[in-house]
Structure 1
């Protein structure tokens, strides 16, 4: 009796996954084969200090920029060469899909999207995640013009754990600015607006 329930639930889950598969494949295809996606742009010296840029078709004029810090319960992120497992690959695909879906939609509307990756637990602490995010924001602010972005129209968005981390990054930066300003490579005033979704 219990075995029958498990089998029917497993079959239902399999059918659900099959229905979603075309959408996942489309996102994966666009992510890996689109010439409007700059994948794994290095912004720091840690293995996870990478970001993906989603560019509009026309960058003849400077475009607004959204810096997106995705969530994942402080533990989920894209796989890298040091942490590949069969379990991590589907989770990594979901992580990339969050940023890809937003990136493609906004790029179609003329907005550049920079999806920042950062160290997760157990690779790093919350402080490491905040430092990585600050460094990623700094990279975008100081380099986005070379990708067609407008450094005077940069917005920050975080989702779930990413909302928590990005709001902490803003607070850390504001605290540094209110001190003597040593080591400040960007200013909170350069962020036009902050959006915290499902957290932050």
Structure 2
């Protein structure tokens, strides 16, 4: 590590870039086994690293207290899952407010957006409660399965009846939720998972550390470990590892895209060195990638956030000071990518980028420019821009009114010919809320 001396005898440590950090971490994760105890030493070493010390001060507690907390939390989830989950959410919210208040602006525009968000949530509360009750009580959902040792490294598995048959091998969708990198929860995948079970598809909702308890390299590492876990374990639940797709929405689309590009680059560099990439999973093992409303270049997103009264500097903290190193689109201009870009792009599965042209949270140009960059890099990519759709319509209002763009996209990728016919023949369920209420919520939504 390079150390530069100042004239006043102070020293400055040059932190490794996020790209370099991710390459090292992803290589390590791809080779991990399923024994969680083997992760411990790696986690302890990571907490001693300069990048962790510089951007995660005050976030570690003694192992003894942490062990007691984990035991108590596990007991609560076994016996009182709803109460425990909501208590944890409350504690996290207070902690988030205390840690991050200095990064937010409280001008009129920001407060107006916050008011609209609260009103939006209240209007859709009855539907949210129905989804929540199903999430906690549907026996087909295997909740809170640990896939790694770090905080929030849990996943949920939605297992359809078809997967319970002897010798079953059903398609698998790995879903990474959004939440602005700050307020995500794997439970956000509930509507998607419940719907896909009706078509005999397993959905795995992968959680990850949220900011400020983790920065974006931590989140990408978490998603990578979750994907590795799926390829090593999903056959136990009736899943077919030869028919797996990765998808993400909003922040989840960004993290999943980062993982795909970084992992494909890692594999291409390995092959260029004349070595076989015999690890637990490869991007070539994925059938497709679906990115919904993703922010694919964080540096370019700054002016848009400022125009909405939000503080764009928070992304500097989220990325450990390296916005380009944490942006999928910028990675395609990296000198390492240009060196082996053609080989890296050949590793990628077919990519489908979906965006609504009325998205107020992440402008549609985010997907348009990323798609163009991917095409120039030699990747197989489809850009799908839908008129009139907002940021939340594909994942909230749409499914609530029984129009689910995600399912309409996933089924042809997973089931092939005849998927559209199955959708058309599926029994139409009544909307989860009055259509006028859903329309009004979409207008009020700050997204």
Within 2, Cα distance between the matches of 1:182 and 1:49? 25
Structure 2 match to 1:45 = 149
RMSD: 2.2
Distance 2:210 2:157 in 1: 20
* TM-score, length of structure 2 as denominator length: 0.36
Greater RCO, 1 or 2 (C-alpha within 8 Å, sep 6+): 1
Return structure 1 stretches of 4+ with deviation > 6 angstroms.
Answer: none
Task: Tell me whether 1:188 sits opposite 2:283 in the alignment.
Answer: yes
Higher helix share: 2
Is residue 113 of structure 1 aligned with residue 203 of structure 2? yes
Q: Secondary structure at the match of 2:162?
A: coil
Residue in structure 2 matching 1:76, options 168, 176, 183: 183
* Distance change in 2, residues 1:21/1:74 (3 Å): closer
**1:35 and 2:153 correspond:** no
Q: Following the alignment from structure 2 to structure 1, what is the Cα–Cα distance between the partners of residues 180 and 130?
A: 26
- Give the number of the structure whose residues are more often strand, by fraction: 1
What's the counterpart of residue 148 of structure 1? 238
Q: Which runs of 5+ in 1 are unaligned?
A: 1-8, 79-94
**Which residue of structure 2 aligns with residue 138 of structure 1?**
228
Counterpart of 2:124?
20
Q: Distance in 1 between matches of 2:144 and 2:278?
A: 25
Could you give the per-residue CA deviations for residues 52-93 of structure 1, whole angstroms, max 9, x where no partner exists?
111112212211000000111111123xxxxxxxxxxxxxxx
Greater Cα radius of gyration, structure 1 or 2: 2
Query: Deviation string for 1:133-163 (max 9, x for gaps)?
Result: 1100010111100011011000000100100
Decide whether aligned partners of structure 1 residues 159 and 38 sit closer, same or farther in structure 2, where only a CA change above 3 A counts.
same
- Relative to structure 1, the CA distance from residue 41 to residue 181 in structure 2 (aligned partners, 3 Å threshold; closer, same or farther) is farther
Q: Normalising by structure 1, report the TM-score.
A: 0.79
Matches within 5 A, 1:83-102: 96=187, 98-102=188-192
Tell me the equivalent position of 1:65: 172
**1:26-57 residue CA offsets vs partner (Å, 9 max, x unmatched):** 21111111110000111111021001111112
- Between the aligned partners of 2:176 and 2:279, the Cα distance in structure 1 is 20
